[in-house]
Amino acid sequence: MPVDFSGTWNLISNDNFEGYMVALGIDFATRKIAKMLKPQKVIKQDGDSFYIHTTSTFRDYSLQFRIGEEFEEDNKGLDNRKCKSLVTWENDKLVCVQTGEKKNRGWTHWLEGDDLHLVFTSDFY
Ligand code: VL7
């Protein structure tokens, strides 16, 4: 049976989220607020079509894409850098490559037991 990420997910931990925000050049005051947040993610998956809505008391971010179809992403309210994003399957992992000013930028989602995992990556330069 194919993996289905659909559901409502609540943050339980955010190891080194600070490091990721530093790499993106997020200012100190914003980082201080952002790392205290407990965002909620609503994911709606219909085959290879995804809708991911992340909400928090501070800012919200939403994304819609299809697997294998590159799209423009504006990262509005995050670091505001535009990039071209492409999400593909790597086995049962959802892998997004965000091509733009920041090298090795992207994220990976996977399921483990009852948990949704998310790893962000970005070079500092
Ligand atoms: C966004 C990472 C941190 C600035 C605000 C923090 C607001 C709540 O990218 C995201 O999810 C992906 C994968 O599921 C799909 O869009 C969510 C995470 C924030 C950048 C930059 C801190 C300012 C967090 C929106």
Number of the ligand 1 atom closest to the C-alpha atom of 34 = 6
CA distance 38 to 88: 27
Mean pLDDT of the chain: 97
Pocket test for ligand 1, best of 21, 36, 61, 122 (most atoms within 8 A of CB): 61
Ligand 1: distance of its center to the CA of 56 in Å? 10
Residue 2 has pLDDT above 90, yes or no: no
CA distance 55 to 47: 23
- pLDDT for 125 equals 84
Q: Give yes or no for a contact between 85 and 65, defined as CB atoms under 8 angstroms apart.
A: yes
Per-residue pLDDT tens over the stretch 65-97: 999 999 999 999 999 999 999 999 999 999 999
Ligand 1: distance of its center to the CA of 61 in Å? 7
Ligand 1: distance of its center to the CA of 59 in Å? 9
Percent of the chain scoring above 70 in pLDDT: 99
- pLDDT for 84 equals 98
Residue 4 has pLDDT above 90, yes or no: yes
Query: 121: Cβ–Cβ under 8 A, 6 or more apart, which residues?
Result: 20, 104, 105, 106, 107, 108
- pLDDT for 1 equals 60
CA distance 46 to 29: 38
What distances in angstroms separate CA 18 from CA 8, 14, 36, 90, 112, one per listed residue? 24, 9, 10, 27, 24
